[in-house]
Amino acid sequence: ALFGSLARGDAGADSDVDFLVQMEPGRSFVDVAGLKWDLEAL
């Protein structure tokens, strides 16, 4: 889910993107780190 200024529609050029991610049970730390790495690359 998105939240924060982008979700409200008032994001500026210097705004970040806030995500709330719910992982499936059984996901490892490597899965979480991989998701973080992928999102940072966007």
Q: How many domains are there within the chain? A: 1
Q: Is the per-residue pLDDT at 28 higher than 90?
A: yes
Report the distance separating Cα 10 and Cα 4, nearest Å: 9
Distance of alpha carbon 28 from alpha carbon 13, whole angstroms: 34
Owning domain of residue 24: 2-40
- pLDDT exceeds 90 at position 31: yes
Question: Which is nearest to 21 in space by CA: 5, 39, 42, 41?
Answer: 39
* Average confidence score pLDDT of the chain: 90
Reading phi first (left if > 0) and then psi (alpha if -120 to 50, else beta), residue 4 is in left
Greater model confidence, 31 or 42 = 31
